[in-house]
Homo-oligomer: A and B are copies of this chain.
Amino acid sequence: MSGQPCSLIATILANRHDEAAARATLQEAQARADTLEPWLRAFVHRPDVYAVRDACTRTLAGVPIGVKDLVDTCDMPTCYGSAAYAGHRPARDASIASSIRALGGVVFGKTATTEFAWRDPAATVNPWNRAHTPGGSSSGSAAAVAAGIVPLAIGTQTVGSVVRPAAYCGVVGYKPTYRNIATEGVHPLAASLDHVGFFARSVEDIAVAHALFVEGAHDVLDDETSWRKHFGAAPEIRLGVIRTPFWDDLIAPHQRDNFDASLQRLRDGGAQIVEVELAADLRAMREATLTILAVEAYRAIGHIGERAPALVREQMRALLAQGAATPLSTYQDALMLQATVRAQSVALLQGCDALLTVPASGEAPAGHADTGDARFCAPWSFVGAPAMNLPSGWSEAGLPLGLQIVGAMHEDMKLLRLAASIQTMLGFEARTVPA
């Protein structure tokens, strides 16, 4: 992408008013994908040719965007990672796909998802070590951005499916406040928990995606003023560290060391760091999350389990069985707890500007049978609060590590501004996998 390491902002600026540049961008992305995809397997479908239309007038003209195959697209197969939907062709675009095209963006391909965004893995491997999982469920979106194929990819998160694979692949992953991005046309896993989110290589790129797709600020890159208003560093930053009751049991030493080093860099950068205890019962939240997941997945996907059980994989079968067996009152209690913590979302920050925690218990685990532990992402999906992974270092094995930052519900723009400052203090940038 014109020498820029797959930056969304650089790609937008390079292609604007320049149809030849837009075509070149797409060709470069195709060439890179052709080189990497034989082993990476980030995409389950890529078209052979792309149309570039109205490059002179549309913000995202010629910008290739990976779209998770949980998202309906009217011109490409959409299989939700499920054998039951092999060759499925939706009649129309999901809301987010339609927004991409309205801005002139190019759906570069459908990225691999675990089965219905649950735990049965996709074929994608970790771009930094192909013997390791890329995380899931948005496996292909995270890997495609890490590999420098596309500057932006759409993912979804029901428990930890944006933040965790972003951490495992070493990119920025952003899950906005619940419902801030429409889920219409995205196959539900659990409607009370499902979020649409973004992967990119920098906080600035995520902020531009947020401006374009969430705020509707289509002029965000038109001049310095409209652009800078999305940043403007927060002068005094107070950050609350959430270690959770299972911190010592679960977190690998390299992740713990990296987390402590990140805190030191933030202190050095002038941020005030305080230790806080979450004013909510994490274990009860975890139970409630699993209950909602199981019941709502059974509602959305149970019909396949009943009609074609052979087409449903093992982890999903277990989830559906749990959903079918859950009493209504257990589900009702879970939703009531969710309503309660959502209403307390601002209080959860305890006067801090954001919370800090790990995105996962360590680097991407070896093997492909499992996509890793979502325990450190789950509470924020349950609350519906905005959460992000920022790349923060490398493990001894050469795999990425990350820092998770969490804001209050609906304070996404505040979190994005903070994240830009934190990214600067961490002094760490997403790397690109060598082709």
Binding site for B on A (CB under 8 A): 92-93, 95, 98, 177-180, 182-184, 188, 191-192, 214-216, 296, 299-300, 303, 328-329, 332-333, 335-336, 339-340, 342-345, 409-410
Q: A336-B410, A343-B339 are in contact. Are A95 and B182 (CB under 8 A)?
A: no
Q: A184-B299, A184-B300 are known contacts. Are A339 and B328 too (CB-CB below 8 A)?
A: no
Residue pair A335, B179 in contact (C-beta under 8 Å): yes
A303: chain B residues within 8 A (beta carbon):
92-93, 95, 98
A216 and B299 alpha carbons, distance in the complex (Å): 13
Given contacts A192-B179, A303-B92, A409 and B339 within 8 Å (CB-CB): yes
Contact of A342 among B182, B300, B343, B345 (CB under 8 A): B343
Task: Kindly state the separation between the CA atoms of A343 and B343 in the bound complex, as whole angstroms.
Answer: 6
For the complex of A and B, 3 pairs with smallest distance between CB atoms: A343-B343, A332-B410, A182-B299
Please give the count of copies of this chain that the complex contains. 2
Q: Report B-chain residues with C-beta under 8 Å of the C-beta of A178.
A: 335
Distance between A26 CB and nearest chain B CB, rounded to angstroms: 25
Q: A299-B95, A339-B343, A409-B339 are in contact. Are A332 and B177 (CB under 8 A)?
A: yes
Residue in chain B with minimal CB distance to A346: B336
Bound CA span A57–B323, Å: 25
Known: A95-B299, A184-B299. A345 touches B335 (CB 8 A): no
User: Nearest chain B CB to A430's CB is how many angstroms away?
Assistant: 27
Indicate if the CB atoms of A214 and B179 lie closer than 8 Å.
Answer: no
A181–chain B nearest beta-carbon distance, Å = 9
Chain B residues near A333 (CB-CB < 8 A) = 410
Residues on B with C-beta less than 8 A from A214 are 328
Measured between C-beta atoms, what is the minimum distance from A386 to chain B in Å? 11
Check A180–B299 contact: CB distance below 8 A: no
- A278 CB, min distance to chain B CBs, angstroms: 17
| A183 CA to B296 CA, complexed, in Å | 10
The distance in angstroms between the C-alpha atoms of A215 and B98, with both chains bound, is 38
A156 CB to nearest B CB, Å: 15
Which B residues are CB-close (under 8 A) to A345? Answer: 336, 339
Find chain B residues with CB under 8 A from A300 CB.
95, 182, 184
A213 to chain B, nearest CB (A): 11
Chain B residues with CB under 8 Å of A409's CB are 332, 335-336, 339
Q: Are B336 and A339 in contact (CB under 8 A)?
A: no
A342 to B342, CA, bound (A): 9
> Across the interface, which residues of B come within 8 angstroms of A183, CB to CB?
191
Interchain nearest-CB distance for A275 vs B (Å): 27
Query: Which B residues lie within 8 Å of A335 (CB)?
Result: 178-179, 409-410
Whether A180 pairs with B332 at a CB distance below 8 angstroms is yes
A426 to chain B, nearest CB (A): 28
Closest to A93 in B: B303
**Which single residue of chain B is at the shortest CB-CB distance from A336?**
B410
Within the assembled complex, what's the spacing in Å between the Cα atoms of A409 and B336?
A: 8
The answer for the CA separation of A333 and B180 in the assembled complex, in Å, is 12
11 contacts across the A-B interface (CB closer than 8 A)? A92-B303, A95-B299, A98-B303, A177-B332, A179-B191, A182-B296, A184-B188, A184-B299, A336-B409, A339-B339, A339-B345
Across the interface, do A328 and B216 meet the contact criterion of CB distance under 8 Å? yes
A88 — nearest CB in chain B belongs to which residue? B91
For the complex, what is the distance from the CA of A344 to the CA of B339, rounded to whole Å?
A: 9
A340: which B residues are within 8 A, CB to CB? Answer: 343
